[in-house]
Amino acid sequence: MHYLPLLFCLLLCTCVRAQTGTPAMPRPEHPKPQFERAKWLNLNGAWDFRIDYSNTGEERNFVGDAAAYDRRITVPFPPESRLSGVEHLDFMDAVWYRRQFSVPAGWRQDRVILHFGAVDYLAKVWVNGQHIGNHYGGSASFELDVTDQLRDGVNDLVVKAEDDVRSRVQPAGKQSLNFGNTGCCKYTRTTGIWQTVWLEARPASYLESARVVPDLDNERFTVRPVFRQLPAGFRFQTTVFDAAGREVLRQTDQANSHLVQQLPLVQPRTWSPADPYLYDLRFALLDPSGRVVDEVKSYAGMRKIHQVGNRIFLNNEPIFLRFVLDQGYYPDGVWTAPSDAALKKDIELALSVGFNGARLHEKVFEERFHYWADKLGYLTWAEFPDWGIDRSYNAPEALLNVQREWRETIQRDWNHPSIIAWTPLNEVHSPKQGLENYDRAVREIYDLTRALDPTRPINTTSGFLHIKTDIWTVHDYSQNAKTFRENYAQLPDSAYYVNWDWYNQGDTLAGYQTKYDGTLPYVMDEYGGTFWLPEYASSAIRGGGRAKWGYGKTASAVEDKIAELTKVLTDHPLIAGFTYTQLTDVHQEVNGIFTFDRKPKFNPQRLRAIFGAPAAYEGPR
């Protein structure tokens, strides 16, 4: 019976090599379109699987015992999802995966790199029974060099994922700490592998990464490459192509560890929501004879994002942010989109009702989402799923886990032009104890973000207490437009700065900037949240651990309320943007513009007029 997995693997590998995508190969597209080599092998599909309830699989030798795996799972979907074929909704402290693969004959002389888009939370990896490495972090991508562990023919790959979401030291985002969906906004968990697993072939000397920085004011890109095993005499070459495939520029420099390559462009075409123009890039590592040793395809957008006083500027023109909250959940895939088309569709849905971008809420979105945002001209604030940790930061491990994975996230995604701000924390307020630790932690996270990427503003804490930030963000779910308007009528002199202070510390907040002073862009980072479903017209419904309720008996009545609230923001001369809650319903939280399965709840034309209405200050000054 042990021949069956081998036969399945060989058939699957044949399908993968064709790279055409078949029903046996979910999510067949290249998972890293900004850094793509020709030689790669998708490992998605059917794997052997085992839930390790007691977390004793290492002791019981699950690494070497193929018979220990009692079911199959479809990777890259998490075991909680329907698409995985498992749909186990209880807590899983540890899960095991196993599959076999063969390395293509053309890779014999290459380094073979094993990639994981994301594994929640602690991933341990073995190849042919040899432990090759661990990775901590449920959202950041990672890679391992498996070359020295490979053998001719069939290889065994085993992955263990440990996920103690209730430990309060690992970031969890909106994952529920209870058995089921609970409260206003805690949902089905994601355990183990939830993004594409793939192999890549690289030469002995290769380009490890390339940071591409657009410099609009000086009409150039700068490229900061990082190399591995770089001999003397090698050169680094970047070729820039326009959208029609014509070569615009070719720059070749001596390759070294401190190279900063300059790519001057004549009258560069900018990237913006109105014109999401992208330049294609080709990076090449050349040996002393000029032979191409390594080659990587990429792309970049020429855009500038900055702030002056209380205004945000895109390409040196003021811009009003018309954002929607997107939590990135799917009914059948949980955190994993069922297809690449589904990622694109969510952006198209948002654009269709007047939004020009999204706050990507409490989740690190996969690289393919950012790719589509780049292609479609969709602005985003990239956020970290920091919920679930001890917010007092009295547990040093919690802070270290956030800092490390946040760094990995920024470094993975910093080349995407669609990302215009970083949001490491969400709704952090004054803790009941440990305010000094909290203060130090927030400042450290801000400084880390600024050191990694000085080109984007930082929304350090979306909503509530602000300690060190570039953008002042507020959350206000008032449903009365008159009250909503009065709250912000006197900005910046108004004392109204936050909707809730759940842990009011009184005098302990002395010395902290708890009142907006007018020097930063002021963004209503969450508002609306207007609950409604067609069922409300006939009766109240309950479910999912909380009452579902709505403000209106008809869709048009809710549209009226959305229009009133939004007009308060677009009419205000000191408000720089908004984030409407939210794009889709998510389980028990039914305040979406669209249902959980992406069906419209309101009149799209009217919503487009509401969210796309001109703001008070818009236009060049």
The Cα 526–Cα 461 span in angstroms is 12
Decide if 549 is inside a domain.
Answer: no
Q: Which residues contact 50 (CB under 8 A, 6 or more apart)?
A: 57, 62, 68, 69, 70, 71, 95, 96
What are the residues facing 222 on neighbouring strands?
213, 262
Instruction: Tell me whether residue 519 is exposed, middle or buried, using C-beta atoms within 10 angstroms of its C-beta: 0 to 12, 13 to 18, 19 or more.
Output: exposed
329 and 282: one domain? no
b/e 98-127 (16+ beta carbons within 10 angstroms → b): bbbbbbeeebeebbbbbbbbbbbbbbbbbb
Dihedral (CA of 465, 469, 472, 473) sign:
negative
248 and 195: one domain? no
Whole-angstrom CA distances from 430 to 104, 503, 620 are 55, 6, 39
Q: How much is the pLDDT for 12?
A: 39
The Cα 580–Cα 497 span in angstroms is 18
What are the residues facing 321 on neighbouring strands?
577
Q: Residue 368 is part of which domain span?
A: 310-529+565-611
Q: How much is the pLDDT for 18?
A: 35
As separate numbers, helices (DSSP H) first and strands (DSSP E) second, the chain gives: 8, 33
110 and 225: one domain? no
The half-sphere exposure of 478 on its side-chain side, counting CA atoms within 13 A, is 20
In the chain, % helix, strand, coil (3-state, to 5) comes to: 20, 30, 50
Q: How much is the pLDDT for 464?
A: 79
Report, in angstroms and rounded to the nearest whole number, the Rg of the chain calculated over CA atoms.
25
185 and 240: one domain? no
Q: What is the mean pLDDT of each run of 10 residues along the chain (621 residues)?
A: 36 38 78 98 98 96 96 98 97 97 94 98 98 97 97 97 94 92 90 98 97 98 97 97 97 97 97 98 98 98 95 96 97 97 98 98 98 98 93 80 96 98 86 69 94 97 87 91 88 55 42 70 93 59 42 79 96 95 93 94 96 78 37
Decide if 521 is inside a domain.
Answer: yes
- State the total domains in the chain: 3
45 and 126: one domain? yes
Decide if 372 is inside a domain.
Answer: yes
The Cα 463–Cα 456 span in angstroms is 19
Q: What is the CATH number of the domain that holds 269?
A: 2.60.40.10
What are the residues facing 578 on neighbouring strands?
322, 524
Q: What is the CATH number of the domain that holds 500?
A: 3.20.20.80
The Cα 446–Cα 168 span in angstroms is 22
Assess contact for 382 and 413: CB atoms under 8 A. Answer: yes
Assess contact for 272 and 293: CB atoms under 8 A. Answer: no
145 and 168: one domain? yes
213 and 137: one domain? no
218 and 319: one domain? no
Please, what is the end-to-end C-alpha distance for the chain in angstroms? 74
Assess contact for 423 and 445: CB atoms under 8 A. Answer: no
198 and 210: one domain? no
Q: How much is the pLDDT for 191?
A: 97
Q: How much is the pLDDT for 33?
A: 97
Decide if 33 is inside a domain.
Answer: yes
The Cα 93–Cα 451 span in angstroms is 35
109 and 42: one domain? yes
Last residue of a domain, which of 171, 202, 233?
202
Query: Taking the model in full, what pTM does it have?
Result: 0.92
The Cα 337–Cα 370 span in angstroms is 13
12 and 145: one domain? yes
Last residue of a domain, which of 202, 222, 240?
202
Decide if 544 is inside a domain.
Answer: no
